[in-house]
Amino acid sequence: MRTLATSLVVAALLCAGATSAQSKADKRPATRAATDTPERFMPQEGVSLDGTSCKSPMVDERDGTTLKLVSSAGGEGDYQVPEGKYGVMKGEYLRLDCSTGEVIGIVRKKQRK
């Protein structure tokens, strides 16, 4: 029984370490500011920002442009947008604060190993 408990504790610690490393890897800094964005993006109709998760899609209510969530960590989401929109180019995402929908900036796509 003691061996099982020890194994469970070790497994939990390994999982926590892997999650922590993933979060740090996803905290790439914004490379530059986005351009011509709304004050904040909004979730689709019927969905509200609740501070518990990143929503997808997010919408620019000015013209209906939709942003698709690609990844998230630490309350921030990286969204795929039409190339050239908001200054986002190929190989980049638009990062939003998931609790407010406000723009943080443009980040490079994470390179696969």
Q: What is the pLDDT of residues 48-89, one digit of tens each?
A: 999 889 999 999 999 999 999 999 999 999 999 999 999 999
pLDDT of the residue at 83: 92
Distant-in-sequence, close-in-space partners of 87: CB < 8 Å, separation ≥ 6: 32, 33, 34, 35, 36, 106
pLDDT, the chain, mean: 82
pTM of the model: 0.74
Tell whether the model's pLDDT for residue 35 goes beyond 50: yes
Distance of CA 29 to the CA centre of its chain: 12
Tell whether the model's pLDDT for residue 106 goes beyond 90: yes
Angle 75-58-49 from CA coordinates, rounded to 5°: 50
